[in-house]
Amino acid sequence: MSIRSTIFLLLILPLSAQAQFERLTNNKDIIWAAKVEAIVSFDVINGSLPSQLIETLPVKAIQDNPEAPLPEPFTEKLTRMISRGDFPAYADKALQHPLTPAEARARMYATDTVVVFDPETYEEKIHIISSDLLGATPFFITQQLWLYNGKANELETIALSIAPAVESRGQAGEYQPLAWYKLPPPRKKLFNLKSSAVQFVTYT
């Protein structure tokens, strides 16, 4: 008897994190459940990869504009949604400390001070440089719920929250979240690869 496992990331209406968790795990057919944290990339990435990265194989990725396809369609869509504040933002992965839209946006940028020497005036000048961390990273940390349905013999994986991740300064290969975003719960009727409402599906 085989076990089927598919990850669906469905972007729909919000529900409280605890209520979502309880609704999914209280099903009498669910005989095992676990919360898993993993680093993922939703599109094909060239170059060095985090050692903790879970490899994913996209099997469906809808382009917003098929005539001008993007190389990383889902990553760019997800980045835009985060930038717009489409998801509730939190400072912690337990989703206990909410952030205002302004606070969440501030976490997506890094500010550095650079001192340069002006050869004409012999004066030092200070420049403030702002870096877009969200737009520069293809990696995300996800909190997932794994559910094993004993009756259907299915292992289902559902994304609960997501955080854009950047490499830690001074710790090569280690990634840290910028902010956590609570994802809406899945709808069973949308678990259909052919549905236009399902814009991204990956096997892992």
Question: Which pLDDT does position 142 carry in this prediction?
Answer: 92
Question: Which pLDDT does position 123 carry in this prediction?
Answer: 84
- Using alpha carbons, select from 105, 113, 93 the residue that is nearest to residue 160: 93
| Secondary structure (DSSP) of 165-195 | EEEPTT-TT-EEES-EEEPPPP-GGG--TT-
User: How far is 160 from 203, CA to CA, in rounded Å?
Assistant: 17
Q: Which two tokens stand for residue 116?
A: 């340069």
Q: Which two tokens stand for residue 155?
A: 């292992």
Question: Which pLDDT does position 192 carry in this prediction?
Answer: 60
Strand, coil or helix: 29: coil
**Average pLDDT for runs of 10 along the chain of length 204:** 41 50 78 87 71 69 74 83 92 93 92 83 83 89 89 85 87 85 73 60 63
Is residue 166 a contact partner of residue 1, using CB atoms and an 8 Å limit? no
Beta strands in 62-197 (DSSP E): 89-90, 109-118, 123-132, 140-149, 154-167, 175-177, 180-182
User: How far is 43 from 25, CA to CA, in rounded Å?
Assistant: 30
